Amino acid sequence: MSRSKPTDVARHPIGVVRARTGLSVEVLRAWERRYAVVRPLRSEDGKRLYSDADVERLGLLHRAARAGRSVAALASLSTGELQRMVDEDAERASTRPTLPGSYREQAMGAVRELAPERLESLLRRALLSLGAVTFLEEVVAPLLVEIGDAWHEGRITVAHEHAASATLLQFLGWLTRSLEVPGDAPRVVLATPRGEHHAFGAMMAAAAAAHDGWHVTWLGSDLPAAQIATGAEQGGARVVALSAASDAAGLERELGALRALLPRHVPVLVGGAGAATLADVPGVTRVRDLAHWRALLDPHMTSTED
Amino acid sequence: MSRSKPTDVARHPIGVVRARTGLSVEVLRAWERRYAVVRPLRSEDGKRLYSDADVERLGLLHRAARAGRSVAALASLSTGELQRMVDEDAERASTRPTLPGSYREQAMGAVRELAPERLESLLRRALLSLGAVTFLEEVVAPLLVEIGDAWHEGRITVAHEHAASATLLQFLGWLTRSLEVPGDAPRVVLATPRGEHHAFGAMMAAAAAAHDGWHVTWLGSDLPAAQIATGAEQGGARVVALSAASDAAGLERELGALRALLPRHVPVLVGGAGAATLADVPGVTRVRDLAHWRALLDPHMTSTED
DNA sequence: TTAGGCTTGACAGTGGATGGACAATGACCT
DNA sequence: AGGTCATTGTCCATCCACTGTCAAGCCTAA
């Protein structure tokens, strides 16, 4: 779900609505003309201006229409009713064994029973079935959270945790390599800062970046700022990103040092649970989650550097 | 944003701004002239001097403009509002640049240029990105049609066709094996009937079935009905499916023979271009396409065995 | 002299809007 | 089973405002 409240003031031109909903401009106009599904405001010169609520509604209509429902019949429903209907359709379809939630549960079962081969087989199956993005966002990420919780609450031992870690890391590494991209792809350098040994978040970020067409260089865990800076320079990094699972004491200092060592035009990003509780460090951007990470990488793809 | 020391003093000439934002100098000047989007200082001799804040703002404007917003409407917004808007646009974008169509075109290019390694790399990337179902329906299936057309029209040679066939068949076989399922999964037996050497359709069907949780047994191409029936019996098939690309003469007779040899509770399905022009054979169901295939398999997943 | 910068003006391409038309799909009625 | 009709996504044809790019002419520092 979105964390930013839908502001009524935000008004979007039709091109943005197309990008957000996946509906073509012809369909957007046809639906409005024929069924009056939304009533966007108009700018002074007659261009449509959609509110966030409109966009939300159109997205729901799109999903309902794809689920086989008739647009004409849906037009008179309120957005709330639409939401309910779409949820219901999704519920009905999710009895199949091939959905994210099901994979996650089965994978957690494999973790509890200390069955790494089964875990790997499940991961492979989930990846091929769902595609890399859904796999990472709806299977791997929640699975990591669940493993962490289970461990803290004593429902699994450290042996379970280590076995699952090894399998997951290996799998994510394989995925990243399988997504390798052309040599002229933009480059991102990943590491975890000094004091941070957990590489999960970084490996997930690596796979997501590789999927989006980046060349990924993984420097390693527990690295001092100077080494990260050197690696970034030698690697020709356009972006440097760190993952911090725990809120280690010296994290802010390390980030500050790294920021000072890198050229200004190289963004420094930091993600993970440890980053959430972090004080602001000038010139360092916090990454909330995978979607945010991919959004941050996107614009740099086309910035022509020379 | 931080008000740390370097930003207030740093002043950049327009060339640096172009390099950093990717905007041409003409655009930089036009935006300033028309919308007063920034107000750079001027040197004694009239040259523009941009601050880091200006550069930041221009970069955001660039991204927002590319996301489909009009520069005129953006000019009055604060940099902070711009930042939020750009983040949201990028994060909520539903249509990623890597669409099935683009993969299909690139793959067709690899076929034309007789580059099987590149084709395989593209297929792998498309599969991981899209997930198996979309991959099969939107990339592989259209690609096969396109290759067939190109061959008939003489745009590619038989060598191209064979190289592509080999790569595709191998890849689909790998995908099917990678999706292998538990031993107690329901079983489907696949083959092509006597006279039919093209196994494409069958391999696609195999991958789709494996994805949906079926245990797939591939008997082979060009098999007489008796051998298929034997294989089905020994394999414990709950469903038997054939693929017929060409409308071979004896197809109907073969289907009839197979139908007679199998128990009544085992459905016989036949798909492919050859099946479309086929006369009806009692007890044999025609499969239109992949979606139809998956729909037909679904109810048999849970049918009680005996 | 050359290269980069500045200004003004012009121009063509793009995106958006409208209304109408068309073709495929599927439901419904013999 | 076959024909009919409504639904719906897509596609012009035309118009308008916006916007990126280019050209011409001038200026100054290296």
For chain A, 306 residues long, give each residue's pLDDT as a single digit of tens.
444 444 456 689 999 999 999 899 999 999 999 999 999 999 888 999 999 999 999 999 999 998 888 888 888 888 999 899 888 887 776 555 567 778 888 999 999 999 999 999 999 999 998 899 989 999 999 999 999 899 999 999 999 999 999 999 999 999 999 987 888 888 999 999 998 998 989 999 999 999 988 999 999 999 999 999 999 999 899 999 999 988 777 888 999 999 999 987 788 999 988 888 888 888 888 998 898 898 888 765 444 333
Residue B273: pLDDT over 90? no
Beta strands in chain B (DSSP E): 41-42, 48-49, 187-191, 215-218, 239-243, 268-271, 284-287
Q: Which of residues 86-145 of B touch A (CB under 8 A)?
A: 86-96, 98, 124-125, 127-134
Does residue B82 sit at the A interface (CB-CB below 8 Å)? no
Are the Cβ atoms of B86 and A299 closer than 8 angstroms? yes
For B147-159, write each residue's pLDDT tens digit.
888 888 888 999 9
Residue B87: pLDDT over 90? no
Are the Cβ atoms of B69 and A16 closer than 8 angstroms? yes
Confidence tier at B1 by pLDDT (50, 70, 90) = very low
Report residue A48: phi and psi, to 5°.
-70, 140
- B223 three-state secondary structure: strand
Residue B250: pLDDT over 70? yes
pLDDT score of B248: 66
- A16 three-state secondary structure: helix
Are the Cβ atoms of A295 and B87 closer than 8 angstroms? yes
Helix (H) or strand (E) holding A284: strand A284-287
Beta strands in B152-290 (DSSP E): 187-191, 215-218, 239-243, 268-271, 284-287
pLDDT score of A67: 84
Torsion from C-alpha of A12, A15, A17, A20, nearest 10 degrees = -120
- Mean pLDDT value of segment B84-90: 85
Highest mean pLDDT among A289-298, B83-92, B186-195, B272-281: B186-195
Q: What's the sign of the alpha-carbon dihedral B145, B149, B155, B156? A: positive
Does residue B244 sit at the A interface (CB-CB below 8 Å)? no
Answer for the pair A85, A77: CB distance below 8 angstroms, yes or no: yes
Are the Cβ atoms of B179 and A125 closer than 8 angstroms? yes
How close does chain B come to A153, measured CA to CA in Å? 31
Residue A45 beta carbon within 7 A of nucleic strand D: yes
A172 alpha carbon, distance to own chain's centre: 15
B304 burial type by CB count under 10 A (0-12 exposed, 13-18 middle, 19+ buried): exposed
Average pLDDT over chain B, rounded to an integer = 85
pLDDT score of B213: 87
pLDDT score of B2: 42
Residue B95: pLDDT over 70? no
Of B67, B125, B132, the CB nearest to A129: B132
Q: How far apart are CA A114 and CA B59, in angstroms?
A: 49
For B175-225, write each residue's pLDDT tens digit.
999 987 777 889 999 999 998 888 888 999 999 999 988 999 999 999 999
B140 alpha carbon, distance to own chain's centre: 7
pLDDT score of B145: 82
Answer for the pair B65, A19: CB distance below 8 angstroms, yes or no: no
Residue B57: pLDDT over 80? yes
Helix (H) or strand (E) holding A145: helix A141-152
Q: How far apart are CA B152 and CA A286, in angstroms?
A: 55
- Mean pLDDT value of segment B94-120: 81
Work out the angle at residue A235's Cα, subtended by the Cα atoms of residues A232 and A241, and round it to the nearest 5 degrees. 40
Confidence tier at B4 by pLDDT (50, 70, 90) = very low
- Mean pLDDT value of segment B57-84: 90
| Rounded distance in angstroms from the CA atom of residue A89 to the C1' atom of nucleotide C16 | 35
Of A13, A178, A305, the CB nearest to B128: A178
Q: How far apart are CA A113 and CA A160, in angstroms?
A: 8
From B40-44, B102-106, B195-199, the region with the lowest mean pLDDT: B102-106
Shortest CA distance to B204 belongs to which of B175, B166, B163, B182? Answer: B175
Of A10, A13, A303, the CB nearest to B68: A13
| Rounded distance in angstroms from the CA atom of residue A44 to the C1' atom of nucleotide C14 | 20
CA distances from B207 to A163, A277, B168, B200 (A): 30, 45, 12, 11
Residue B184 beta carbon within 7 A of nucleic strand D: no
- B190 three-state secondary structure: strand
CA distances from B56 to A259, A276, B74 (A): 17, 24, 14
From A35-44, A99-108, B16-25, B116-125, the region with the lowest mean pLDDT: A99-108
Shortest CA distance to A285 belongs to which of A305, A304, A303, A299? Answer: A299
pLDDT score of B304: 41
Substitution target in A20, A269, A301 with the highest count of B β-carbons within 10 Å is: A20
CA distances from B222 to A182, B197, B257 (A): 41, 6, 15
Q: What's the sign of the alpha-carbon dihedral B248, B253, B259, B261? A: negative
Nearest CA in chain B to A265: B20
Amino acid at A26: E
Does residue A280 sit at the B interface (CB-CB below 8 Å)? yes
Nearest CA in chain A to B132: A129
Output DSSP code: residue A280: P
Structure-model confidence comparison of residues A194 and B306, the more confident one: A194
pLDDT score of A303: 42
Output DSSP code: residue B92: H
Q: Which residues pair with B78 in a beta bridge?
A: none
Answer for the pair B217, B231: CB distance below 8 angstroms, yes or no: yes
C1' nearest to CA of A47: which nucleotide?
C16
Q: Which of residues 26-65 of B touch A (CB under 8 A)?
A: 52, 59, 63
